[in-house]
Structure 1
Amino acid sequence: MRILEKMISFLALFLILFSSTAVAQDLSPQECVKKLLDTIANIKTGDNISAEQKEKNKKQSDQAIVFLDLKDVSQQTLGKYWKERTPKEQEEFVALLSQLFKKIAFPNSSKFFADLKPNYGETRIDKNQAVVPLKMTHKNEGEVSIDFKLQLGEGKWRVYDVILDEVSMRNNLKSQFYKVLEKDDFPELVRRMKEKIEKGEG
């Protein structure tokens, strides 16, 4: 289960989602999820990545990120602490999370999704909410169930949570943030985020 546990850890820690007006308005929830996974899978990792491939990876991350909803997840994961932040602090928080997502979450997720073919179930839509279920068979983990939760806003479907084998990444992330904020403070959380970004760039 080590691979699955690492996958949960990476997504739980970095699944903060960045919204964009570039999302095509006519995409269905399943199409959004498919494009998201396809784009993430195209990110290449390794010790000998060329400058050209790094630039391609950056473009893939920029493309994938538009299918995700940052505003909702940012507010939900910080919970009561979100309202305590100034607009400038909120802006800094969002910017740091987007960098963590691009530099760490996407590359690590690509290792998991690259060789897997998703088997999509029936999408469930209730007004402005949707769930896209899928199953994947991993050579080490066996069958893995993933539910992508999306919401419709401004005519666009965006992912706001991922349920991996019944584990909510957004809730898991909130728990990790709260552990830092209840023990220390917001500046300490920011410091840790910046530290991880630096390591991800190394």
Structure 2
Amino acid sequence: MNRKLAGMRVISLFIGIVFLLIAPSTFADTPSSVIDKLQVELLSVMKNAKKLGFDGRYKQLLPVVTETLDIPFIARYTLGSSWKSLTDEQSIQFVDAFQILSVSDYARHFDGYSNEEFNIEGEYPLKNGGIRVRSKLTNHDDTNVTFDYLLRNIDGNWRIVNVIADGVSDLAVRRTEYRQVIKTQGYDALLDQVKEKSKQYREAAIAKEGK
């Protein structure tokens, strides 16, 4: 092997190593692309809502919701300081129940389509290093719902930690409710309530579809 060929192979190897090192950060999702991924799936579910039914919508939304939302963080945050008192088993139980509730909530809300469109309007930096992405859902009657998604970066990946719909923070509402329940009634009561809420969402959606 001549020196020139050997040198070219060394350079090629070096370039390959550099590419592998920079590729994750170069091609990582942006905050807006994370929101777009979620909203594309929501529109797909809306357009096929009747065919899918609640269980079908739930099944289709489960992967994208768990991929774009930081469910463990959100579940932990809703309990505040009470989280520290949970055992490992209780923590896992609560995150699992909270995930089912979160996906069920999307499946019941996005249950039909009337030419709605999502439009991402921009990204705005937050003081804590996070990003706020604003998006609007335009309905057929020209009414809009404004969504502000708050995201944080976890090991190079952007994940949603709060959804604010027309100024109402889902995280703040849940945090106030859950902390009160766990304080006055205990963890077991809260877990039962979260599970019951998921059940109610499903039953109400199925009853609505049957009309």
1:117 is matched with which residue? Answer: 117
More helix by share: 2
The structure with the largest alpha-carbon Rg is 2
Alignment of 1:164-175 (within 5 A): 164-175=165-176
Distance 1:38 1:63 in 2: 10
Q: Deviations over 1:91-135 (max 9, x none)?
A: 100011111222x21212323787421222221235841111122
Q: Deviations over 1:157-181 (max 9, x none)?
A: 0000011111111011111112322
TM-aligned CA distance change 1:153 to 1:112, over 3 Å:
farther
Q: Is the 8 A contact 1:42 1:110 kept in 2?
A: no
Q: Deviations over 1:8-64 (max 9, x none)?
A: xxxxxxxxxxxxxxxx96211111001111112322444x757xx945751432233
Alignment of 1:142-161 (within 5 A): 142-161=143-162
SS across alignment from 2:76: helix
Distance 2:98 2:65 in 1: 15
SS across alignment from 1:111: coil
Q: Is the 8 A contact 2:49 2:113 kept in 1?
A: no
Q: Is the 8 A contact 2:105 2:201 kept in 1?
A: no
Distance 1:146 1:193 in 2: 24
For structure 2, which runs of at least 5 residues remain unmatched after alignment? 1-25, 204-211
2:163 is matched with which residue? Answer: 162
For structure 1, which runs of at least 5 residues remain unmatched after alignment? 1-23
Distance 2:184 2:63 in 1: 34
Distance 2:142 2:164 in 1: 16
TM-score w.r.t. length of structure 1: 0.74
Number of residues of Structure 1 aligned to a counterpart in Structure 2: 175
SS across alignment from 1:27: coil
Distance 1:90 1:149 in 2: 24
SS across alignment from 1:79: helix
Distance 1:179 1:31 in 2: 36
User: Relative CO higher for 1 or 2, CA cutoff 8 Å, sep ≥ 6?
Assistant: 1
1:132 is matched with which residue? Answer: 133
Distance 1:79 1:191 in 2: 18
Q: Is the 8 A contact 1:41 1:111 kept in 2?
A: no
CA apart distance, 1:201: 5.0
